Amino acid sequence: MNPSLDRTYAQQQDEEDVLAPLRDRFHLPARKGGTRSIYLCGHSLGLQPKSAASAINEELAAWAELAVDGHFDSKRPWVSYHEQLTPGLARLTGARPSEVIAMNSLTVNLHLMLASFYRPEGERNKILIEKRAFSSDRYAVHSHLEQRGFDPAMTLMEIEPRFGEYIFATEDICESIERHAREIAAIVLPGVQYLSGQCFDMAKIAACARKHGCVIGYDLAHAIGNVPLRLHDWDIDFAVWCGYKYLNAGPGAIGGCFVHERHGIALDMPRFAGWWGHDKTSRFAMPEQFVPLRGAEGWQLSNPSIFAAAPLLASLEIFDQAGMEALRAKSIRLTGYLELLLQASLGDHVAILTPNLIEARGCQLSIRIARAPDEARAIHQQLTHQGFICDWREPDVVRVAPTPLYNSFRDVWDFVAALHSLCIGSP
């Protein structure tokens, strides 16, 4: 028997894993009876860093003690609180600090970006998305088309994978862009597709879009904190993300935006304006004329919720200590191990939808259990009942994401063993 199929192999991997102690910095959810769940759902809601509570409490205390003076006199003054989030976000996204901003939530940010970057001209008035785009992204794009007086039936372009497939071939995307370039004003694609777990070749697609004069923006909801990003070098126009998936900043956490430097310095760029995006030196003088800040900061509207920002700060500190490179290296091994075990012990009982290529995926594997839909759903419910937290996405996809910050090789082994006994029976 292959030695890696044995649980002692998983245990050995955990013992040799220098990142393993990070698990202890998170609260692992409890199960009835007091044991811990095996949490494989970081793609949906990341776990709570134990340091999040003290980060919030620090601000509650500052509010209690200083009240309005907390804006300027607290340990981390609220007027500039978001600036502390910038370096960590810049490192995770491969951006210059001036290109990123923590603010709002994902869909709001997508609207703000489309308000600036969707600039239809003549027959170049379409927005390209993918057919299985996350509902909120689709709604946002749809509403922008309507808002500008276009019929979405004519101006929303959707690309699909080849017939019967979940996975896009990069050359197909580039070919679509090339073929329709003169009609495409903007492209909005995922970094990592939420359902299939496919990581798009963001660099190549961006190069193709830019070559043909199309604006390119990425939704990084499932990419940030998961896969390496080089947004500046890839020369993309904009990106948006949320903070509660792999970023572990809590339900409804503060999200963020990337705006490439070449747009950030264009102060005449059309945008929805608010006082927090206005020149800091005259913000409180409240002049009539809006003067945007340079960089992504110039897209801010309101002063941010400090209590939403605090857990993100706590979480980014952990990312900085671990380093994205080390996390990615572990992630590749952890997900590869999940794949190996699934194939070796379940064979045809499951199909893995996520690409096998390392560059084309992050933590998540999307699997389909080869049973009638009701039976597959029941197996997922059994897993949940046994304390294995992964999720079910209609029509029939189970998403499983071992994350390098808090998952172990034993988590992966135990999950596959549980799935094995539900699908095939105990060995």
Judged by the rule CB under 6 A, the positions of this chain that interact with ligand PLP are 105-107, 134, 136-137, 190, 194, 219, 221-222, 242, 255
Minimum CB separation of residue 35 from ligand PLP in Å reads 29
Minimum CB separation of residue 238 from ligand PLP in Å reads 14
Residue 107 or 335 having the CB closest to ligand PLP: 107
Residue 104 or 345 having the CB closest to ligand PLP: 104
Residue 141 or 422 having the CB closest to ligand PLP: 141
CA-nearest of 118, 128, 126, 99 to 190 is 128
Write b or e for each residue in 394-419: b if 16 or more Cβ atoms lie within 10 A of its Cβ, otherwise e.
eebbbbbbbbbbbbbbebbbbbbbbb
CA-nearest of 19, 42, 23, 38 to 242 is 42
> C-alpha dihedral over 169, 170, 171, 176, to 10 degrees?
100
Residue 224 or 405 having the CB closest to ligand PLP: 224
Minimum CB separation of residue 257 from ligand PLP in Å reads 12
Residues in the chain: 427
Residue 106 or 334 having the CB closest to ligand PLP: 106
421, 264 in Cβ contact below 8 A?
no
Count Cα neighbours of 360 within 13 Å in the Cβ-side half-sphere. Answer: 13
Residues contacting 242, CB < 8 A, separation 6+: 105, 106, 221, 253, 255
Minimum CB separation of residue 312 from ligand PLP in Å reads 13
Q: Pairing between strand 184-190 and 126-130?
A: parallel
Residue 190 or 304 having the CB closest to ligand PLP: 190
